[in-house]
Structure 1
Amino acid sequence: MADPQAPFVYTEGQLQCILVDGDVDRRIGFLIEGLFAVRRTQFRGHPPVRPELDLVEQDDQFTHQIEIPLEDSHADQLDPETHLDVFKPSATFVQDEAAYEDLKRSMLGDDGEVIEEDEPNDDDDDDSEDMEVIKDETEINLINLRRTIYLTIMSSAGAEEAGHKLLSIMRPGQEAELCGMLVECCKQERASSNTRFYGHLGQRLCGISRAYQAGFEACFARCYAAAHRMGTDELRAADAVPWRSVLGGVRIAEEDTTSSSRIFMKVMFQEMAEQLGVRLLGRRMNDDDEPEVRDALFPRDSAENTRFAVNFFTAVGLGGVTEPARKILSL
């Protein structure tokens, strides 16, 4: 009888059926596709043994096998050593530890001891002193990564295909660079259909891993701080990351904004209203369950700051989202 507490293991065919049926959450579907991408790359980046733990050479490893079959008559002569199942303090613990350290040093060597097979050569020392350390500052690896990301995006017919390809070539630690590349590519696009492509692609990546969410949050903070160096045609927006983490450094008040940052927020919320609708956007902006977002967009520390935020959103054509703030001013 199967153990009821044992984890249920899905086969590859069952996972494919789950994706085809579409009966799971979209985030779960992204995770399953990510597993398929890792399998297609032969689990690169996921070694079976960590390099720091692979201390014994393959030729020096010994595999212990019991050659007596269990159904043999001599099988009952095997000692299961059941006394090891119960902990008992050892009277020779110190001696055993010393013997173990000696055995370890004989097999692995001493960390503080330098083992040299050949005699040192004075000429080699002189040559090593004359050698200069060459440091590559051309960032050729970073350039090749950006080129690969760009060509992968340009060769994809849709956001789903692009996300599938990018997940198969990305390595851990490269998420921030991919997010930055997507933002730069989106800034250069002019057609609205192409900008929606990058929005859907970013939303797909954020649904797979929180590392991509952190990367896009850092991109937003960097773009908002450099809004004075950006043109209005370079601003894009999409609803893919939590608002409270993105709007942590934003405050719609006269002393906390500049003309460039106000244009930045204007374009962003106008595109969000186009995607979500004014009614849903108003609920998201005034949600009492997320006071960080509400207080960042409609500061309530003073009536002057609240009035400034109301006038700002009214001036950009989003007066419908200011109704809760107007009620507070009328009290």
Structure 2
Amino acid sequence: MAELELQKMEKGKDGGKDGEKEKEKFDAQAEFNKLLGGSRAGGAYIPPARLRAMQAAATTDKSSPEYQRLSWDALRKSITGIVNRVNVANIKHIIPELFQENLIRGRGLFARSVMKAQAASLPFTPVFAALVAVINTKLPQVGELVLTRLISQFRRSFKRNDKIVCHSTTTFIAHLVNQGVAHEIIALQILVLLLERPTDDSIEIAVGFMREVGAFLAENSPKANATVFERFRAVLNEGSISHRVQYMIEVLMQVRKDKYKDNPIIPEGLDLVEEEEQITHQIQLEEELQVQEGLNIFKFDPNYLENEDKYKQIKAEILGEDSDDESGSEESEEEEDEEEVEAKEGIEDRTETNLVNLRRTIYLTIMNALNYEEAVHKLLKIQLKEGEEIELVNMLIECCSQERTYSKFYGLVSERFCKLNRVWEECFEQAFANYYNTIHRYETNRLRNIARLFGHLLANDAISWAVFECIKMNEDDTTSSSRIFVKIMMQEVMESMGLKNLAERFKDPEIRMHCQGMFPLDNPKNTRFSINYFTSIGLGIVTEEMREHLKVRCLTPRSLVPSC
């Protein structure tokens, strides 16, 4: 805490009363100001012992520039440290700690720290937005400054064609809109600007922005939301952008169809502000903005002590009357906390650091292997906890999907794992269902590689053909991506087994039971769809039973069966 650091500095003043001789040699305040205050980089190097002595001599007057400079540096370090520690698990404990600092004096420091932290870790954007939303309810000038700087940063990066900064800034603005800190008009203005003259980069940023804010706009501005998607369709029909970006728009359409189930307005655990308490800022994209860059640097305050007392009163109103007493006894509490931490056993890791390290190890092992046998041998040496087998399977499939063309290396590695142990076979079967249900998120090349990998496993009986249970071959339950996936997979199986053997395999009673969704007999419409699909991909031989069924059904009197 900034106050505690200053209090510790003041304790060394009592021993310096006999420093009359030292004052004759040099003026401590003047030298301290010369060494520390004259340079943005911090001045010359000073040994720690001498620096402490000079700080004690130079900070006898709390209203002096030297004391204010020290308190400013302590405030900057404290705010930066607190912002960098925040996550979903501890945000409720971090917020009172942040209010202990003078956020009115340090609002520029807070805005800079939170924007820098968000740009460095985009997955934590909802957490930083929730933090700003809570502070905005008590200190709206802080929330307004953060939003103003984000809009200004977006305008600059858009003019400079800086896609990375544009993407991070729009993501932050989207979550501030979701939290109610910013009005939805700014989101619509950004979308209009990005879609007005479509390029690959502007459409890519617009798609990412829409994924984050789309659920909010669909709920609060349905007409404007529909207009935005009409513009996306127009861009798609014009064909002036690359196939990769066109596919991104198609994926966004599917996300909208799924009602943004993977992109909720406010993630679980971050709905910390009541709707009626939130203060919404209506800042326009084109209006003149007051960025107040001067708040980032130290300035001497002639009314420093008065302003500090005013903030203490504000802090007491926000945190309760006992906040001063709590801060007074904080040193003793910190010592007790340290003892408690030492006594604790078994710390739970919620940062998923171990999981990230495990994935890195698996990836490097796969990439460094000369052949599939060496890869399997090295991968089996990795110490996996119970339940982490699926991580290895997912990494294998992801590595395969990232290749430019399908490599049989991954098929052989996966096949060997499946035949080593039933646990691995079940993991690959589980992965098949997961990837089939989310295959619309993948680009065509990645989709092709994943389909050929599973085709290899099926052709070599590495996984059970019972996985076909998740495939429902009809117009309602399939997408263009899933149909392409099944086509490539079945063609891979046909190349390995031969068309005749494949047809015989599908006649097996046990496999037919699991393939009822692929070859539906319940509804003539679905039956026709399946027949047409498999015939078009060169597998008409497997549709003979469905054709006979359809023929018999149509010959039956109309009074007994539904119309064909």
Query: Which ranges of structure 2 fall in alignment gaps of 5 or more residues?
Result: 1-330, 553-564
- Give the Cα–Cα distance (whole angstroms) in 2 for the partners of residues 312 and 207 of structure 1: 32
Matching of residues 1-331 of structure 1 within 5 Å: 127-129=335-337, 136-173=349-386, 174-192=388-406, 194=407, 196-235=408-447, 236=450, 237=454, 238=456, 239=458, 240-244=462-466, 246-331=467-552
TM-score (norm 2): 0.34
Q: Residue 301 of structure 2 aligns with which residue?
A: none
Structure 1 residue 135: deviation in Å? 6.4
- Give the Cα–Cα distance (whole angstroms) in 2 for the partners of residues 327 and 161 of structure 1: 50
- Give the Cα–Cα distance (whole angstroms) in 1 for the partners of residues 377 and 334 of structure 2: 53
Query: Which ranges of structure 1 fall in alignment gaps of 5 or more residues?
Result: 1-122
Structure 1 residue 165: deviation in Å? 1.6
Partner amino acid for 1:128?
E
Q: Residue 109 of structure 1 aligns with which residue?
A: none
- Give the Cα–Cα distance (whole angstroms) in 2 for the partners of residues 260 and 313 of structure 1: 15
Count of residue correspondences: 206
Partner amino acid for 1:294?
C
Structure 1 residue 206: deviation in Å? 1.0
**SS state at 1:297 partner:** coil
Q: Would you say the 8 A contact 2:405–2:445 is kept in 1? A: no
The superposition leaves residues 65-113 of structure 1 with CA deviations (integer Å, 9 ceiling, x where unpaired) of xxxxxxxxxxxxxxxxxxxxxxxxxxxxxxxxxxxxxxxxxxxxxxxxx
Structure 1 residue 137: deviation in Å? 4.1
- Give the Cα–Cα distance (whole angstroms) in 1 for the partners of residues 507 and 480 of structure 2: 24
- Give the Cα–Cα distance (whole angstroms) in 1 for the partners of residues 334 and 444 of structure 2: 61
**SS state at 1:191 partner:** coil
- Give the Cα–Cα distance (whole angstroms) in 2 for the partners of residues 165 and 139 of structure 1: 23
Q: Residue 41 of structure 1 aligns with which residue?
A: none
Structure 1 residue 329: deviation in Å? 2.6
The superposition leaves residues 266-295 of structure 1 with CA deviations (integer Å, 9 ceiling, x where unpaired) of 222122222222222222333222233331
**SS state at 2:354 partner:** helix
Q: Would you say the 8 A contact 1:232–1:264 is kept in 2? A: no
Structure 1 residue 190: deviation in Å? 2.3
Structure 1 residue 215: deviation in Å? 1.7
Q: Would you say the 8 A contact 1:252–1:309 is kept in 2? A: yes
CA distance 1:286–1:303, shift in 2 (3 Å):
farther
- Give the Cα–Cα distance (whole angstroms) in 2 for the partners of residues 198 and 284 of structure 1: 25
Q: Residue 29 of structure 1 aligns with which residue?
A: none
- Give the Cα–Cα distance (whole angstroms) in 2 for the partners of residues 184 and 286 of structure 1: 33
**SS state at 2:484 partner:** helix
Structure 1 residue 326: deviation in Å? 2.4
- Give the Cα–Cα distance (whole angstroms) in 2 for the partners of residues 183 and 147 of structure 1: 14
Q: Would you say the 8 A contact 2:429–2:463 is kept in 1? A: yes
- Give the Cα–Cα distance (whole angstroms) in 1 for the partners of residues 531 and 413 of structure 2: 33
Task: Give the stretch that moved more between structures: 128-137 or 212-221.
Answer: 128-137
Partner amino acid for 1:177?
E
- Give the Cα–Cα distance (whole angstroms) in 2 for the partners of residues 128 and 243 of structure 1: 60
Q: Which runs of 4+ in 1 moved over 6 A?
A: 123-126, 130-135
Structure 1 residue 178: deviation in Å? 0.4
- Give the Cα–Cα distance (whole angstroms) in 1 for the partners of residues 480 and 409 of structure 2: 29
Q: Residue 183 of structure 2 aligns with which residue?
A: none
The superposition leaves residues 33-84 of structure 1 with CA deviations (integer Å, 9 ceiling, x where unpaired) of xxxxxxxxxxxxxxxxxxxxxxxxxxxxxxxxxxxxxxxxxxxxxxxxxxxx
% of aligned pairs identical? Answer: 44
- Give the Cα–Cα distance (whole angstroms) in 2 for the partners of residues 307 and 294 of structure 1: 16
Structure 1 residue 203: deviation in Å? 1.2
Structure 1 residue 175: deviation in Å? 0.8
Structure 1 residue 172: deviation in Å? 4.0
- Give the Cα–Cα distance (whole angstroms) in 2 for the partners of residues 301 and 170 of structure 1: 48
TM-score (norm 1): 0.56
Structure 1 residue 330: deviation in Å? 3.1
- Give the Cα–Cα distance (whole angstroms) in 2 for the partners of residues 180 and 128 of structure 1: 44
Q: Would you say the 8 A contact 2:393–2:427 is kept in 1? A: yes
**SS state at 1:190 partner:** coil
Structure 1 residue 327: deviation in Å? 2.9
**SS state at 1:299 partner:** coil
Structure 1 residue 185: deviation in Å? 0.5
- Give the Cα–Cα distance (whole angstroms) in 1 for the partners of residues 419 and 438 of structure 2: 27
The superposition leaves residues 203-233 of structure 1 with CA deviations (integer Å, 9 ceiling, x where unpaired) of 1111112221222222222211212211221
- Give the Cα–Cα distance (whole angstroms) in 1 for the partners of residues 500 and 332 of structure 2: 76
CA distance 1:289–1:219, shift in 2 (3 Å):
closer
Q: Would you say the 8 A contact 1:287–1:294 is kept in 2? A: no
- Give the Cα–Cα distance (whole angstroms) in 1 for the partners of residues 334 and 401 of structure 2: 54
**SS state at 1:152 partner:** helix
Structure with higher RCO (Cα < 8 A, 6+ apart):
1
- Give the Cα–Cα distance (whole angstroms) in 1 for the partners of residues 433 and 415 of structure 2: 18
- Give the Cα–Cα distance (whole angstroms) in 1 for the partners of residues 483 and 430 of structure 2: 19
> RMSD of aligned C-alpha atoms?
2.6
